[in-house]
Amino acid sequence: MTDNKVRTRFAPSPTGFIHLGNIRSALYPWAFARATGGDFILRIEDTDLERSTQEAVDVILEGMQWLELDIDEGPYYQMQRMDRYRAVLEQLKASGHVYPCYMSQQELDALRERQTAAKEKPRYDGTWRPEPGKVLPPIPAGVQPVLRFKTPQTGSVGWDDKCKGHIEFQNSELDDLVIARPDGTPTYNFCVCVDDMDMRITHVIRGDDHVNNTPRQIHIYEALGVAPPVFAHLPTVLNEDGEKMSKRRGAKPVTWYRDAGFLPDAMVNYLARLGWSHGDDEIFSRAQFLQWFNLDHLGKSAGQFDETKLRWVNAQHLKALADEELAQQLRPFIVQTGVAAAALDADDRLPRICGLFKDRCDTLVDLAHWARLFYVETIERNADDAAQHLTEAAQAPLAAFAQAVAKVEWTREAINAALKAVLKEQGIKMPQLAMPVRVLTMGVAHTPSVDAVLELLGREKILARLLRH
């Protein structure tokens, strides 16, 4: 299948919540389309009626929206295309590429048992395949047949995979594929081919669990008179235990990472590196990724998910984000902690708070934890820090500092001067004052520069927290 314009697709089955291993299979075709000025199509393969759910569809759409994997067409739903599939089935019947097979499931199971016992590869034996001079068995009464595709019995089928190199299968190893069930419902491999043909897909970029489907699909493309697309089969994404990532093995929905405060650009950066590389570049923007991306640098070995590495990547993107933009992304996370949106709008502190604390945080949730301390009336103090620093010896310096900040000009420089004056007056060193002040005002002993924190916290809150203990 050739076209001047690149057209790629993401075609998930909504049978479970989409996880990072799945979404990487959306990222690469999206990136290739964007890098080449092509089109990116979303198709929902929902023919598994027993397991497909609207909830799973919603997570797919939400996850792609969060990651800003914008689509040019779709979503298309396979269940809405049944009339088209049946029309193409009739076309293949007329051309002699399919035939009815009346073998029952019991007969098929018995055949496979015999083949297994004889140490043969279990496969359909062509009982109902029409051949010149062959006499077919009598058609059993009351049995609705499946439709099977007449796979070529000699020669081979192969393709140059953009990820795995040349792959070839002997046709003699492939039996006749069922492409329609007894009720006429078409099967997966057939629907995919019709969809990709109709949607003019030029490049199929998908997981390597589909490699064994590809020779069968190539045969169907050829029977339909169209050239197959270019294939790139991506290596598996493994979980932290080295197993294939799956919901059954603890993989989290993509939306969990959104709710946990990861940045979409950081996720794109991290996922891109799970099977593609650009030299030694670890951290890059979305724009750089699209500028660099091609199919020639896809990895050939499985990528392994590492949440520690993901948090590090997210931290780098968080640090690089402009404070104003970071503040906008942070707002809903602060509101979720119980801070009223009106309180955030009451002054212009939030971008400066972001600038002060972002170097200490891995996620927006972490940053929201710090930011809320500037807007709430009461805070919880770390018990260990309080026991270590809120000692009897700290009481006099704290009282002196409370008196000083009650009347000082409200600038960082003036607060710093007040701190130093109390140190000199009390004959103590900075940690002996700064640590207890931090515990009382922020709940912990370690924060960014104490004068910068106090300036943003405000005189009223500082005095309330100093005097309340």
- DSSP for 124-148, please give it: ---TT---TTPPPPPPPTT-PPEEE
Query: Distance (Å, rounded) from C-alpha 383 to C-alpha 431?
Result: 18
Instruction: Count CB neighbours of 98 within 10 A.
Output: 25
Superfamily (CATH H level) for 84-180: Glutamyl-tRNA Synthetase; Domain 3 (3.90.800.10)
Judged by DSSP in three states, 40 sits in strand
What pLDDT, on a 0 to 100 scale, did the predictor assign at position 2?
Answer: 47
Q: Which residues pair with 231 in a beta bridge?
A: 204
| Ranges of each domain in the chain | 1-76+188-320, 84-180, 321-372, 383-468
What pLDDT, on a 0 to 100 scale, did the predictor assign at position 280?
Answer: 87
Query: Distance (Å, rounded) from C-alpha 19 to C-alpha 251?
Result: 6
Query: Distance (Å, rounded) from C-alpha 360 to C-alpha 176?
Result: 60
User: How big is the CA angle at 76 (ends 72 and 78), to the nearest 5 degrees?
Assistant: 155
Domain 1-76+188-320 classified CATH 3.30.360.10?
no
From residue 271, give the alpha-carbon distance in Å to each of 41, 193, 277, 284, 406: 20, 28, 11, 12, 51
Active site residues: 247
Percent of the chain topping pLDDT 70: 99
Domain 383-468 classified CATH 1.10.10.350?
yes
- For the chain, which residues score pLDDT lower than 70? 1-3, 469
Residues 6+ apart with CB under 8 A from 459: 405, 406, 410
Q: DSSP letter string over 179-240?
A: EE-TTSPBPHHHHHHHHHHHTT--EEEEEGGGGGGHHHHHHHHHHTT-PPPEEEEEPPEE-T
Query: Distance (Å, rounded) from C-alpha 42 to C-alpha 30?
Result: 10
What pLDDT, on a 0 to 100 scale, did the predictor assign at position 469?
Answer: 64
Question: Residue 397: is the preceding peptide bond cis (ω within 30°)?
Answer: no
Kindly state the tokens that stand for 216.
């069968």
> Is residue 445 a contact partner of residue 435, using CB atoms and an 8 Å limit?
yes
Sign of the dihedral through C-alpha 321, 325, 327, 329: negative
> Is residue 266 a contact partner of residue 249, using CB atoms and an 8 Å limit?
no
What fold is seen in the domain 321-372? Helicase, Ruva Protein; domain 3 (1.10.8)
Q: What are the tens digits of pLDDT across the range 144-164?
A: 999 999 999 999 999 999 999
